[in-house]
Amino acid sequence: MADCCDSPNRVVTGAQNTCPHCGAKGARVELTTVKALLTELALRQFEPGPHSFCPGATCSVVYFAADGQVYTTTDVRVPVWQKQPAGARRICYCFDENEASMAREVVETGRCGAVQRVRDHIAAGRCACEVRNPRGTCCLGEVMKAVARVESECSSEVEK
């Protein structure tokens, strides 16, 4: 899969880093992403240094730094779908592909074209995941998973 947001000079470290709140393994994020997504108030506390994203669904921490600083969902300018209940979560932050519109599309047309739409936008050079998506990476893989989830939920509802 093409990672539209990977810059060639990106530094990927193999260091294990765990969320100080929930112990989940963090995923390193670019500082550009953290700074773009923090609220004005939270950004005033920001110190440069390695930051990671906590993927824990029940943990309110979104970013944590090596020095122990944490930023929670209220410190981030957009809802973080990984920490929201399923159903209407925005998966693609650049072009607003969300579970509610995916489900509506499946009900109305029998399928969801979100993956192809996102692919087309990526090909057209429009995606801005590094400053819009709190995870800081291309959403395409997650959009594919979300469409599969929504389509299987909708088809099982029809069978009922």
Between CA 47 and CA 56 the distance in angstroms is 23
Element (H, E) at 143: helix 140-159
Closer to Zn ion by Cβ: residue 22 or 144? 22
Closer to Zn ion by Cβ: residue 56 or 136? 56
CB of 97 to Zn ion, least distance (A): 25
Closer to Zn ion by Cβ: residue 54 or 138? 54
CA separation, residue 94 to residues 22, 42, 113 (Å): 29, 22, 16
Hey, what amino acid is at 66? Answer: A
Phi, psi of 29 (to 5 degrees): -125, 150
Best CA proximity match to 36, nearest among 140, 136, 138: 136
Binding mask 39-78 for Zn ion (x = CB under 5 A): ---------------x-x--x-x-----------------
Binding mask 13-32 for Zn ion (x = CB under 5 A): ------x-xx-x--------
Question: What is the binding site for Zn ion (CB under 5 A)?
Answer: 19, 21-22, 24, 54, 56, 59, 61
